[in-house]
A and B are shown apart, each in its own frame.
Chain A
Amino acid sequence: MPSGMSLIVKTVTRLVASFIVLFGVYVALYGHVSPGGGFAGGAIVAGGLILVMLAFGRRQTRNMFTHGMALGWDCGGALAFVAIALLGYLAGDFFLNFAGHGDPYRLASAGTIPLSNAAIAAKVGAGLFGVFLALAVFRPGQRQEGEQ
């Protein structure tokens, strides 16, 4: 029996999901020059992944995006953020914006801020998706359905 929603939904999802994720990445990377930022971008990325999961059903999606991937990106994003903050010590102080500030309003500007935004986007995107995955996969009365 096919899982997930109807063919129409699946086709549309197939067309738009990658653009949603791409838009999320754009919002995160341009967070320092335009409205948005790591949190908003990450939430959009997670929205794209959740759309895939709703359209194709949890069994099929779980093969593409596993619980371990969500955990890895989530922790990795947080670690990268702390690492950027700690790198500031090399220049003298915690969270010091040590990288070149560049020209304002350009993509390559604002020093470490875009890097921090990217780290936050990874953390938030994977975190929100992980929460959704947990709610979809774990069932009351049993530890976990299927794998892991």
Chain B
Amino acid sequence: MTNLLPLFVAIPLAGGFLAPLIGYGSDERRAGAARMLALLVGALLLAGSIAFMGAAARVCWIGDWIGTSSRPVGLSLVCDGLTELLLITVNSIAFIALIYSWSYIERFTGRSLYYCLFLIMLAGLNGVVLAGDLFNIFVFMEVAVIASYALVAFGVERPELEASFKYIVLGSVSSLFVLLGIAVLYNLTGQLNMALIADRLVAVGATPAVWLAAGCFIMGFGLKAAMVPFHAWLPDAHPSAPAPISAMLSGVVIKAVGVYAVCRLMFNVFGMTTPGGAMYANVLITLGVLSMIIGVLLALGQWDFKRLLAYSSISQVGYVFLGVGVGAAVLAGGGPAPVAGLAIFGGLFHLVNHAAFKSLLFLCSGATEYGTGTRDMHNLGGLKHTMPVTAGCCRVAALSIAGVPPFNGFWSKLIIIIAVAQAGYWSLAALAALVSFLTLTTFLKVQRHVIDGDPPAYERQPREAPGAMQLAMVCLTVACVLLGILLPLHQGWLIKPAQRALVSGPGYATAFGPPGMTAQIAQATPRVEEAGP
């Protein structure tokens, strides 16, 4: 089954290029055909990613070109625990966004091009998380983000175009930094395969050139993940896109091309047990905490529903980086492995949870805009009477993101805070709790001004969203509830393998390198025991 891995990229790519061509007759019928095709591709990919869950980690060499350590040619796709986690997250959110698009995208023109861009973006995202070499990560990242530039501008009004332009400029700068980082690493090690780079970096040791490369990656991928000094594009780009695209952008794009890439590089390529490890970990923690605080403070003052959600994404990604960064710091400092494991577990669990509830919130904001024609919270309110399904889903999502007990957001934040405290960062744990409180305040405001409260004088009577949009929102609502209360059941299947992949650090190199690799790394670093809550 291993050699089926390329299908995760090939199927959406083929579907994307087929979407504008199939169907005949009127634009209406062609768009209908594209819509069916996209939904079919989405369902196939979701089924595929579920089928790939939990099996042993594996590597697929494209075209049967298996490199050797002395002659490292060939491209590899790697599917380990972290990749599985991201694959299933990306493909489930994409499938739900496609269901939602079924009705939502009806009011746009050029709908078959929408599905074309959507599927190409999906191909890029799947490629990023599967790629086993750095240059392919770069290429697939560009595929995904260039499609997303176009999707952000899909409304082709002035604000959308402006947001998209800003996103293009900043995104291109960050891509150049990533490319520079790849060039530096290639110069140091002569390799592009991540396993081989990790192996050779052990011999290179801690030099300023390695730090330069790490800095380029943190800046480049950090901008894609909207970490705080690099976040300026996100509050424009995410609200401007059509709602299902906003859900994809905030839910999975910033995770796959940002968080995933940073984690993969820092843990598995640079390695936390190397001399530079503590420094990388501190950078991740600092940027994570900054994102967490500044994001929520900016979100608090927003009155545009979608813009508020976009700012809150910055804050929640900060939580992910805090969890993962503290885990990295503990590993780098030689601290207790269970604490590191718990922190990383919390970070990854929050990543999945954020994908669920933030996508749901964006879908709800889309339904609200669809029903009322506005997303200014001054002019909203009382939707629980007129749009009960949307309001109910929105309430569950708001409670989840605010960290109210039975829902998923509570558990991941709790795990992060406990792990951060256990690692000795008491002040950061307190800050995380405070930010959680501010998030609660922000989303109480959303509930007060959108769901509850007196309905203002609407221009037209708000109407409930169409069935497909309701179905998509209800699916994510169920996910928000189940991810939280079924944590003991799904953790071993969903999150533990990903956590192991990160904690094992340099184990990546020995597991996924070409056959006959020298594996200096195996002797150079001690094995870290499995850990977790």
Residue A94 lies at the interface, judged by CB distance under 8 Å to chain B: yes
Tell me the minimal C-beta distance from B101 to chain A in angstroms.
20
How distant is the Cα of A96 from the Cα of B116 in the complex, in angstroms? 27
Counting contact residues on chain A (CB < 8 A from B), the size range is: 10 to 19
B158-181 Cβ-contact flags toward A at 8 Å (1 or 0): 000000000000000000000000
Bitwise, B11-39 to A at CB < 8 A (1) or not (0) is 00110011011000000000000000000
Residue of B nearest to A71 (CB): B20
Chain A residue with minimal CB distance to B13?
A82
Is B63 a contact of A75 with CB atoms below 8 Å?
no
Inside 8 A of A88's CB, which chain B residues have their CB?
63
* Smallest Cβ-Cβ distance to B62: which chain A residue: A95
Q: Is B17 within 8 A of A86, CB to CB?
A: no
Do A93 and B21 touch across chains, with their CB atoms under 8 A apart? no
CB-CB under 8 A for A85 and B64, given A78-B17, A79-B17: no
How far apart are B348's CB and chain A's nearest CB, in angstroms?
29
Interface string of B101-117 (1 = CB under 8 A from A): 00000000100000010
Indicate which residue in B7, B10, B18, B62 contacts A75 across the interface (CB closer than 8 Å). B18
Contact with B along A86-107 (1 / 0, CB 8 A): 1011001111110000000000
A75-B17 Cα distance, complex, nearest whole Å:
5
In the assembled complex, the Cα of A114 lies from the Cα of B322 at a distance in Å of: 50
User: Does A72 touch B at the CB level, under 8 Å?
Assistant: yes
Query: Judging by beta carbons under 8 Å apart, are B6 and A94 in contact?
Result: yes
Chain A residue nearest in CB terms to B14: A82
The answer to whether B10 touches A82 (Cβ under 8 A) is yes
Return the chain A residue nearest B63 by Cβ: A95
Say yes or no: B14 contacts A79, CB within 8 Å.
yes
Contact of A93 among B20, B64, B156 (CB under 8 A): B64
Does B14 lie within 8 Å of A75, measured CB to CB? no
A83 within 8 A of partner (CB): yes
B68 within 8 A of A: no
Q: Which residues of A (39-98) have their CB < 8 Å from a CB of B?
A: 71-72, 75-76, 78-79, 82-83, 85-86, 88-89, 92-97
Q: Interface majority SS on A: helix, strand, loop or mixed?
A: helix
Instruction: Please indicate the chain A residues that have their CB under 8 angstroms from the CB of B18 in the complex.
Output: 75, 79
- Minimum CB–CB distance from B133 to chain A (whole Å) comes to 15
Once the chains are docked, how many angstroms separate the CA of A95 from the CA of B7? Answer: 11
Asked whether B3 lies within 8 Å of A93 as measured between CB atoms, the reply is yes
Is the contact region of chain B dominated by helix, strand, or loop, or is it mixed? helix
- A71 and B156 CA atoms in complex are apart in Å by 20
Interface string of B238-275 (1 = CB under 8 A from A): 00000000000000000000000000000000000000
B20 CB contacts on chain A under 8 angstroms:
71, 75
Taking a contact as CB atoms closer than 8 A, the residue among A78, A79, A95, A97 that contacts B6 in the complex is A95
Which of B7, B13, B62, B156 touches A78 (beta carbons < 8 Å)?
B13
Pairwise interchain contact A96-B64, C-beta atoms closer than 8 A: yes
Are A93 and B63 in contact, CB atoms less than 8 angstroms apart? yes
- A94 to chain B: closest residue by CB: B6
Question: Residue of B at shortest CB range from A95?
Answer: B63
State whether B63 touches A96 (Cβ < 8 A).
Answer: yes
List the count of A-B residue pairs having beta carbons below 8 Å apart.
48
In the bound assembly, the distance between CA atoms of A95 and B60 in angstroms comes to 12
Which residues of chain B come closer than 8 Å to A85, judged between CB atoms? 6, 10
CB closest residue in chain A, given B61: A93
Minimum CB–CB distance for B2 against chain A, Å:
10
Report how far A78 CA is from B17 CA in the complex, Å: 7
State how many angstroms separate the Cβ of B107 from the closest Cβ of chain A.
Answer: 15
A71 and B30 CA atoms in complex are apart in Å by 14
Could you tell me the distance between the alpha carbons of A92 and B65 in the complex, rounded to whole angstroms? 12
Chain A residue contacts of B21, Cβ below 8 A: 71-72, 75-76, 79
Contacts of B10 in A (CB 8 A): 82, 85-86, 94
Partner of B63, one of A72, A82, A94: A94
Contact in complex: B64, A82 (CB < 8 Å): no
* A86 cross-chain contacts in B, Cβ below 8 A: 10, 14
- CA–CA, A143 to B156, complex, Å? 9
**What B residues does A143 contact at CB under 8 A?**
109, 156
Nearest chain A CB to B64 CB, angstrom units: 5
Distance A30 CA – B113 CA, assembled complex (angstroms)? 33
Give the docked Cα–Cα distance between A86 and B9 (Å).
11
Q: Which residues from chain A contact B13 at a C-beta distance below 8 Å?
A: 78, 82
* B14 and A97 contact, CB distance less than 8 A: no
- Shortest Cβ gap from A17 to chain B (Å): 27
Residues of B within 8 A of A76 (CB): 17, 21
Tell me the complex Cα distance, A95–B116, Å: 23
Closest to B7 in A: A94
Question: Which residues of the partner chain A approach B17 to less than 8 Å between Cβ atoms?
Answer: 75-76, 78-79, 82
Listed residue (B17, B21, B60, B156) with the most chain A CB atoms within 10 angstroms of its CB: B17
Min CB distance B130 to A, Å, is 12
Q: Mark B428-440, 1 if CB is under 8 A from A, else 0.
A: 0000000000000
Chain B residues within 8 Å of A82, by CB: 10, 13-14, 17
A94 pairs with B14, CB closer than 8 A: no
B 19-77 contacts with A by CB, 8 A: 20-21, 60, 62-64
For the complex, what is the distance from the CA of A83 to the CA of B18, rounded to whole Å?
11
Write the chain A residue with the least CB distance to B75: A95
Bound-state CA distance A95–B156 (Å) is 38
Residues of B within 8 A of A96 (CB): 63-64
Shortest CB-to-CB span from A74 to chain B, Å, is 8
CB distance from A125 to the nearest CB of B (A): 15
Residues of A within 8 A of B6 (CB): 85, 94-95
> Distance (Å) between the CB of A71 and the closest chain B CB?
6
In the complex, the chain B residue whose C-beta lies closest to that of A75 is B17
Q: A138's closest neighbor in chain B, by CB?
A: B156
Using CB atoms, name the residue of chain B closest to A85: B10
Query: Could you list some 8 contacts between A and B, CB below 8 A?
Result: A71-B20, A78-B13, A79-B21, A82-B10, A83-B14, A85-B6, A94-B10, A97-B63
- In order of increasing CB-CB distance, the 9 nearest A-B pairs are A95-B63, A94-B6, A78-B17, A75-B17, A82-B14, A93-B64, A79-B17, A75-B21, A95-B62
7 more CB-based (< 8 A) A-B contacts, given A79-B14, A95-B6? A75-B20, A76-B17, A82-B10, A92-B3, A93-B62, A95-B63, A143-B156
